[in-house]
Amino acid sequence: MLQAQERSPCTVKQYGHIARTFLSFAQKPLDEVTLRDLEAFREYLVLQRHYSKNSVYTTVRGLTCLFRSFGYSVADQLEPPRRPERLPRYLTEEEMHRLFEAVTESPRDNAIVHVLAFVGLRVGELCHLQLEDIEFERNILHVRSGKGDKDREVVLEDRTRAAIDRYLADRTISGASSLRLFPVGSVTVERIVRRAAQRAGIPRRVTPHMLRHTLATALLSRGCDIRYIQKLLGHASVATTQIYTHVDTQALRDAYQRAKPQY
């Protein structure tokens, strides 16, 4: 049913896990579930499974979707917790340089890291790219059915285009024929980025989504209009993009030095 609603594969998998976990806990059919059963499940997740607020929030959303799919409204009364507002984590330019150096030996991994770092794609968007989504004449990449089932166009800058060209040339030599640009799954992409960060000597846990945060932060620090960053990242609202205005501490420091009062 979620697939019919064109939910992302990640959401389908996540909500499916939530449904199975709840049904195993409740031990009763959906039409007999009460609000008290749902509240007991939430308490179990917090007290016994030590779920974070973000995890509980996602679980409540998943349960609401589950019950609505079968025509029941009992989960509508279950209030999700307020999610904490955390600043996105990002890499410095020096760390990014080391990350690129760590993937020079693999044309595929090098191209994947370049697309994540310079185009700002979500992992799911990268994994679903087709060869036909690249307009080589215009250096444009078409992102089909991104979050919210929205399409967008993004620009391929020179280094990313060159990385893709090297990868495709290497793929031709090896005889690969997939219609997908990168015929890999999200777990593989996460592993590529994590291992590259380890080889680069970056002590923090680095994820593909962190490269998306890094791009947005770097663009904003260089004066890029926040509306263009919103379009590039595929954010439905500029309010989502505005979180990056709180991340660039150097810009904050410079602005403060220019405007601080002279007591």
* Closest C-alpha to 147, from 235, 209, 229: 235
Q: What six digits make up the tokens of 237?
A: 């609202």
Catalytic center residues: 122, 147, 209, 212, 235, 244
Give the Cα separation of 202 and 96 in Å (integer).
Answer: 10
> Do residues 143 and 120 touch, judged by C-beta distance below 8 A?
no
Give the Cα separation of 229 and 232 in Å (integer).
Answer: 5
pTM, two decimals, is: 0.72
Q: Which residues, 6+ apart, have CB-to-CB distance to 256 below 8 Å?
A: none
Q: Which residues, 6+ apart, have CB-to-CB distance to 88 below 8 Å?
A: 210, 213, 216, 217, 243, 244, 247
> Do residues 141 and 232 touch, judged by C-beta distance below 8 A?
no
Q: Catalogue all structural domains in the chain, each as residue range(s) with its CATH number.
A: 9-77 (no CATH), 93-253 (1.10.443.10)
Which has more pLDDT, 150 or 232? 232
The strand pairing partners of 130, in sequence order, are: 180
* Closest C-alpha to 195, from 182, 183, 209, 207: 207
The pLDDT tens digits for 74-131 are 999 888 888 766 778 899 999 999 999 999 999 999 999 999 999 999 998 999 999 9
Mean pLDDT of 253-260: 73
* Closest C-alpha to 169, from 127, 114, 108, 128: 108
> Do residues 109 and 197 touch, judged by C-beta distance below 8 A?
no
Helix (H, G, I), strand (E, B) or coil at 134: strand
Please say if the pLDDT value at position 153 is more than 70.
Answer: yes
The pLDDT tens digits for 196-254 are 999 999 999 999 999 999 998 888 888 888 888 888 888 888 877 877 776 666 666 77
**pLDDT of the residue at 54:** 84
**Residues in the chain, total:** 263
